[in-house]
Amino acid sequence: MREAAPQTVYLRDYTPPPYLVDHVTLEVALHPTATRVRSTIRFRRNPATGPGHPLRLDGEELTLIAAQVDGVDINAEPDDLGLSIPSHLLPDTPFVWEAEVEINPQANTTLDGLYMSNGMYSTQCEAEGFRKITFYPDRPDVMAPFKVRVTSDLPVMLSNGNPVASGPGWAEWEDPHPKPSYLFALVAGDLQPTRDTFSTMEGRHVDLGIWVRAGDSDKTAYAMDALKRSMLWDEAVYGRAYDLDVFNIVAVDDFNMGAMENKGLNIFNSRCVLASPATATDADYASIERIIAHEYFHNWTGNRITCRDWFQLSLKEGLTVFRDQQFMGDMRSHAVKRIGDVLSLRARQFREDAGPLAHAVRPEAYAEINNFYTATIYEKGAEVIRMLRLLVGPDAYAAALDLYFSRHDGQACTIDDWLSVFSDATGRDLSQFKRWYGQAGTPHISVTEDWVPGADAAAPGGVTITDTTTSNAEAPAGMGGTYTLTLRQDTPATPGQPLKEPLVIPVALGLIGPDGTDLLPTVVLELTGPEQVFRFGNLPARPVPSILRDFSAPVILSRDTTDAERALLLAHDTDPVTRWEAGRDLARAGLERMILNGAGPDAGYIDALGKMLRDATLDPAFRALTLGLPSQDDMAQGLFTAGHTPDPDAIHRATQGLRRAIATVLHDDLAQVYDGMSTPGAYDPGAVPAGKRALRLGALAHLTRLDDGARARALFTSADNMTEAMGAWTALLTVGLGVEETQRFYTRWQAERLVIDKWFAAQVACAAPDRAVAVATDLSQHADFNWKNPNRFRAVFGALSGNAAGFHQASGAGYALLADWLIQLDAANPQTAARMSSAFETWRRYDPARRAAMTAALERMLAHPGLSRDMTEMVSRMRG
């Protein structure tokens, strides 16, 4: 394992590669403990960098057997990180580097590079795994066509590109598209294909394959369908066709992330590709659809156009997330998709941006790049592109994307290149907008308003809008009243960035009359200064503003709003996102009063909720979302931002109290929804029946508090699909019932590892605060607990850190348990350990005792001898 000597890499130090690669040939002779890799690499000096540079090849955990330059043995002496050949030993003309190395895939528990998992070989090279396969300039701005010959005694051998030839014990693949090494992939195993075909709009016939372990072939149909829909969508919406003769997907059980977009050979965590009605929930189906699309879309945004260096990671990830969000909206419901995205943005990215791990969408420094595959790079990166599209308009966005693809195809690009495309295509100056990429932290927008009634009724012709920079500018002439909206932006300091500049913030706004009618349909205000005043004249009555429609910018909005205004918006707002938000704000305000002042549950909120529940004109999926309460972590963050010290136990009690009150007051409505929303017939994972199930299970969770679990038990027994079985079982667990169902669930699904992950996770996630640590401890001793499998580790310990009141038990037992296990995992798998360590990023929110316990856990991890570079960087940043 690597010793912790975090060497910081800076964006400002970027220099172009002194040697370029024209072609790579790899011959990989697979063996569990002694795989031999022979590389033949055609190099040439980069005319742009001048003479004299040594040839630097990255290489880690490789045993060098022999190396030659132009057929002549060369005495290369690798250190821990690679090797260098001095310039004077290399010809000025193109030359061939050949090397043979030996590696041990079986011993590779990092799941990075080439490793073995369940008898199969698999690779993960992004970001820097290729250097564990052979010596190479392992950086994304070095792109080359690859030819690969694999030998092994396994029946299936796959690599990137098109198949060239194969025979017993060998297979050859050729990828004509120049690619960076991080997109290299190789798989070998006893795998079963599910096959299909696709004809592109350019007339190319593509063979599609999803390769899985024997026994999993009944779980590939949905992913295949999602893949074909993704291919069609990218042609229809972005004009992008697939560019190889085959497209393969492989499911791997041991995988650090969700999936990987290797050229022509996407590798997936099994949980992100395998689904059957009996084993996968509606949420699993949606997540598979999204991730299949995401990885496929990378073929253009990531592979054909890649990143110059890893500081540009959001160039491909932000854009590809934005594309998968658009796709999912088109496939399902834009409103429901957007609300779901807002929820997860707040839960993960706002939380990150508010703590010690805050960083810019384009960071400037890192020690371990794997620590930067974050919600900020991905989700905030997508939000920035969404704002850009809103500002320039959909047609200009489409024109800019066409220019991006034509100008940069085959290149390794920067975020500056991306923005230049937009300013060239639209003529818009984006220098201020660019701050979104460099400035970390979530902007706060505070809203103040003023109303001057008019002397006369509003004149025909509608509302007039004036954008002024000072608040005492003249009110626009005309009849009717004048409404003034003052928007102020402030971005709090983040680590290394004490001072912030104003951003360009598109604020989508509508005005609603006191009777609920629209006074002003959506307009997009552009906030560019620290404070700006917008006047709306000729209004018939004082409006209620609906601000940040469709969540037009990733900001925290604050406005003194009355509950009556919130109820009006909840009942009448024509924008589904702000409408949903109004309900959420009501819930939050009520919960805060319960937590801080010991108030009882808010009757007005429950009443408004009842109206939504009964409104049959509303999409059930939308009603299910309004039924959800803010998460306990979200409440804690909100209280902290407002200057309070959140008490996780009090938040838990208030949430439980509100749930109980909702169940009691709305019992009849909930029972009616439960009975009315059943989805008879064969299970269909589509958005419409899934929305009904979501609403029905939301109602069930409440009803289970009152009926001793009768409905949930009956549904658990009769369910023919995992969505309802899980919904019923977790409804029982949440109220302390379900002991027998837990046993039955295990017995029934023992052989299905992805279902057993759910079995582990739900018990911890639903445990009462004072039980969560004990439940996690017990489960970590279960015979089926395999801590080296990231899905299983996450099932227990991801669920523990997600159980807010359980993780934050005042005793500190949750912190201590997680720290113990992260230390253990780090020795085998630094990437997953480091990723999960962000459970501690919120320590500053809490009271002195919890802060002390959390920082003690951080110190203990940091002091552990041999802690990885990944963990060392994360823990040091969190400790601050």
User: How remote is the C-alpha of 7 from its chain's centroid?
Assistant: 27
Which tokens go with 659? 């749930």
Of the two residues 314 and 721, which places its CB atom closer to Zn ion in the complex?
Answer: 314
- Residue 230 C-beta: closest distance to ligand ARG, Å: 13
Residue found by looking up tokens 């975090």 in the block:
6
Of the two residues 179 and 294, which places its CB atom closer to ligand ARG in the complex?
Answer: 294
- What span, in angstroms and rounded, lies between the C-alpha atoms of 701 and 663? 9
Backbone angles phi, psi at 475, to 5 degrees: -70, 145
- What span, in angstroms and rounded, lies between the C-alpha atoms of 130 and 21? 15
Task: Please name the helix (run of DSSP H) or strand (run of DSSP E) that holds residue 662, with its range, or none.
Answer: helix 648-665
Please give the residues from 239 up to 278 whose contact with Zn ion meets the rule CB under 5 A: none
Which tokens go with 488? 């102020």
125 binds, among ligand ARG, Zn ion, none (CB under 5 to 8 A by kind): none
260 binds, among Zn ion, ligand ARG, none (CB under 5 to 8 A by kind): ligand ARG
Please give the residues from 301 up to 320 whose contact with Zn ion meets the rule CB under 5 A: 317, 320
Contacts of 220 (CB under 8 A, 6+ apart): 194, 210, 212, 273, 274
Pairing of strands 35-45, 95-103: antiparallel
Of the two residues 320 and 704, which places its CB atom closer to Zn ion in the complex?
Answer: 320
- What span, in angstroms and rounded, lies between the C-alpha atoms of 654 and 648? 10
Task: Please name the helix (run of DSSP H) or strand (run of DSSP E) that holds residue 412, with its range, or none.
Answer: strand 412-413
Catalytic residue check, 295 = yes
- Residue 741 C-beta: closest distance to ligand ARG, Å: 35
Alpha helices in 487-602 (DSSP H): 563-572, 576-597
324 binds, among ligand ARG, Zn ion, none (CB under 5 to 8 A by kind): none
- Residue 185 C-beta: closest distance to ligand ARG, Å: 12
- Residue 370 C-beta: closest distance to ligand ARG, Å: 5
Residue found by looking up tokens 């945004």 in the block:
301
259 binds, among ligand ARG, Zn ion, none (CB under 5 to 8 A by kind): ligand ARG
Of the two residues 298 and 702, which places its CB atom closer to Zn ion in the complex?
Answer: 298
Alpha helices in 677-738 (DSSP H): 687-703, 710-718, 722-734
- What span, in angstroms and rounded, lies between the C-alpha atoms of 543 and 266? 52
Please give the residues from 318 up to 357 whose contact with Zn ion meets the rule CB under 5 A: 320
Q: What is the DSSP letter of 643?
A: T
- Residue 196 C-beta: closest distance to ligand ARG, Å: 22
- What span, in angstroms and rounded, lies between the C-alpha atoms of 801 and 839? 6
| Contact (CB, 8 A) for 234 and 297 | yes
Of the two residues 351 and 835, which places its CB atom closer to ligand ARG in the complex?
Answer: 835
- What span, in angstroms and rounded, lies between the C-alpha atoms of 414 and 421? 11
Of the two residues 256 and 763, which places its CB atom closer to Zn ion in the complex?
Answer: 256
Which tokens go with 344? 């997860």
Q: Which of 465, 449, 480 is nearest to 558 (CA)?
A: 449
- Residue 127 C-beta: closest distance to Zn ion, Å: 12
Of the two residues 373 and 433, which places its CB atom closer to ligand ARG in the complex?
Answer: 373
- What span, in angstroms and rounded, lies between the C-alpha atoms of 150 and 699? 54
Tally the residues of the chain: 880
127 binds, among Zn ion, ligand ARG, none (CB under 5 to 8 A by kind): ligand ARG
- Residue 690 C-beta: closest distance to Zn ion, Å: 24
Identify the sign of the CA torsion 828, 830, 832, 837: positive
247 binds, among Zn ion, ligand ARG, none (CB under 5 to 8 A by kind): none
Residue found by looking up tokens 């369940």 in the block:
118
- What span, in angstroms and rounded, lies between the C-alpha atoms of 880 and 864? 18
309 binds, among ligand ARG, Zn ion, none (CB under 5 to 8 A by kind): none
- Residue 78 C-beta: closest distance to ligand ARG, Å: 23
Of the two residues 187 and 725, which places its CB atom closer to ligand ARG in the complex?
Answer: 187
Beta partners for 365?
10
Pairing of strands 531-539, 481-490: antiparallel
Report angle CA 289, 291, 296 to the nearest 5 degrees.
100
- Residue 489 C-beta: closest distance to ligand ARG, Å: 30
Of the two residues 333 and 829, which places its CB atom closer to ligand ARG in the complex?
Answer: 829
Distances from the Cα of 363 to the Cα of 12, 243, 371, 583, 870, angstroms: 11, 32, 11, 36, 16
126 binds, among ligand ARG, Zn ion, none (CB under 5 to 8 A by kind): ligand ARG
Q: Following CA atoms 790, 795, 796, 798 in sequence, which dihedral angle do they give, to the nearest 10 degrees?
A: 80
Q: CB nearest ligand ARG: which residue? A: 373
655 binds, among ligand ARG, Zn ion, none (CB under 5 to 8 A by kind): none
The catalytic position among 60, 172, 261, 295 is 295
Of the two residues 179 and 500, which places its CB atom closer to ligand ARG in the complex?
Answer: 179
- Residue 320 C-beta: closest distance to ligand ARG, Å: 7
Which residues contact ligand ARG (rule: CB under 6 A)? 126-127, 257, 259-261, 294-295, 317, 370, 373
Of the two residues 123 and 734, which places its CB atom closer to ligand ARG in the complex?
Answer: 123
First to last CA, the chain: 25
- Residue 142 C-beta: closest distance to ligand ARG, Å: 18
Of the two residues 349 and 730, which places its CB atom closer to Zn ion in the complex?
Answer: 349
Q: Which of 293, 295, 206, 208 is nearest to 243 (CA)?
A: 206
Report angle CA 803, 809, 811 to the nearest 5 degrees.
155
- Residue 118 C-beta: closest distance to ligand ARG, Å: 20
- Map residue 251 onto helix, strand or coil: strand
Of the two residues 480 and 790, which places its CB atom closer to ligand ARG in the complex?
Answer: 790
| Contact (CB, 8 A) for 512 and 542 | no
| Contact (CB, 8 A) for 57 and 82 | yes
279 binds, among ligand ARG, Zn ion, none (CB under 5 to 8 A by kind): none
Q: Which of 178, 141, 126, 160 is nearest to 410 (CA)?
A: 178
Which tokens go with 56? 């630097």
Give Rg (Cα) of the chain. Answer: 28
User: How remote is the C-alpha of 349 from its chain's centroid?
Assistant: 9
- Residue 530 C-beta: closest distance to Zn ion, Å: 35
Find out whether the peptide bond into 541 is cis, omega within 30 degrees of 0: no
Positions marked catalytic: 295
Interacting residues toward Zn ion by CB under 5 A: 317, 320
